[in-house]
Amino acid sequence: MTSCTSLALFCKVVDNFGDIGICWRLARQLAHEHGIEVTLWVDDLVSFKRICPAVDIDLGQQQINQVTVRHWRNQDGSFAPHDVADIVIEFFACDIPPNYIQAMLGCSPKPVWLNLEGLSAEEWVEGCHQLSSPHPSFSLTKYFYFPGFSAKTGGLLLESDLIERRDNFQQNTAAQAQFLGQLGATPSELNAFKISLFCYPHAPVSELFEVWKNSDTPITCFVPEGVASDSVKSFMQAAGANKGNLGSAGSYANSGALTVRVLPFIPQEEYDKLLWACDFNFVRGEDSFVRAQWAGRPFIWHIYPQDNNLHHKKLNAFLQRYSANSNSINALSLYWNEANSAPLDLPEVWKELKLALPKLNQMSTNWVAEMRQNGDLAANLLKFSAAVR
């Protein structure tokens, strides 16, 4: 077994924030907790800057939080064996530069080459995790590495101190009030049932707003700027809002029991706090999906759409693991993802969900404990890499 001290992570941004969000969290954790020399190659610095304001979009190379960030402009470039890291990761099957692969051939020992796949709860993932794939032309082997929800996968991204930081924050009402207050929330909004909303544009947001307007108790919905923009603007116009540009950061409106407040797009660390501070979360893609699980709050996942509705199969596979005994979470999840086979009484489902909230909170707590037993993705990945190197 040979230790690995350097790692190159190649990321092509497809889902604006999910891809780079996952890669950035992994890169930071490997550098901070394991002392790995990490180089993150990313093709879209603009999206990266939205979640990490320290990024300079004009630089080809920069050092941020102990990670070397390289702008991956194209497939060209000259590389020598000394440029190659001990571990080379292509995220979600992106093609790394051919000359980098050529340089890998000159390394002794050869680098560990991983294809870090997308997160799925489907059973076939366990059978494919850590499978080897010899290169058809070169004496190089690539391994498929899957995050997942069981001990037969690589687990989920989880920093060593995350749960402790979460608990400290959730037990400190003053810290929560200060955080949300800095984002513009008023005392009345803080005392309401708090929901964060992060979704793709096709989500049925307006329909849900109608249900929330007629709630028996006040609801505050926090929406990042640019998310569900059409539904947010329509709600604010109908509510007669006239503060600033409708839908822009800082704008808000109230109608019935519902207040919608638009937040600036905040860095990853602040987004974690938003999930922790809310009573219920709507998340999308993969990065915020995982962070919502560690928040220990019930949530609805808006899965990234795929051709032939393959994402519906992935959604159902997760729901069978996470919320098999929660009819309200399952029904709302299917509706939110346009996967329900029959009409849904949305007001009734939301009413059932609110009544089941204590049980859902306990379900979320139990889920966190179960997922922690699988170890964390970064440590599991390094252990595997050292074993095969």
Residues involved in catalysis: 19, 286
> Pick from 130, 150, 151: which is nearest to 142 by CA?
130
Please, is 345 exposed, middle or buried when counting C-beta atoms within 10 Å of its C-beta (0-12, 13-18, 19+)? exposed
How many Å apart are CA 53 and CA 45, to the nearest integer? 10
Find the helix or strand (DSSP H, E) in which 145 lies. Answer: strand 141-145
How many Å apart are CA 28 and CA 69, to the nearest integer? 11
How many Å apart are CA 208 and CA 202, to the nearest integer? 13
How many Å apart are CA 146 and CA 56, to the nearest integer? 31
Place of tokens 């905040």: 266
Per DSSP, the three-state class of 185 is coil
How far is CA 111 from each of CA 40, 154, 217, 238, rounded to the nearest angstrom? 16, 19, 57, 59
Residue type for position 338: E
How many Å apart are CA 332 and CA 341, to the nearest integer? 12
Residue type for position 122: E
Q: Residue 216: how many CA atoms within 13 Å on its side-chain side?
A: 7
Residues shown for the chain: 389
Q: Residue 323: how many CA atoms within 13 Å on its side-chain side?
A: 26
> Pick from 87, 48, 86, 91: which is nearest to 70 by CA?
48
How far is CA 386 from each of CA 3, 89, 324, 356, 379, rounded to the nearest angstrom? 5, 14, 37, 46, 11
Q: Which two tokens stand for residue 190?
A: 């803080």
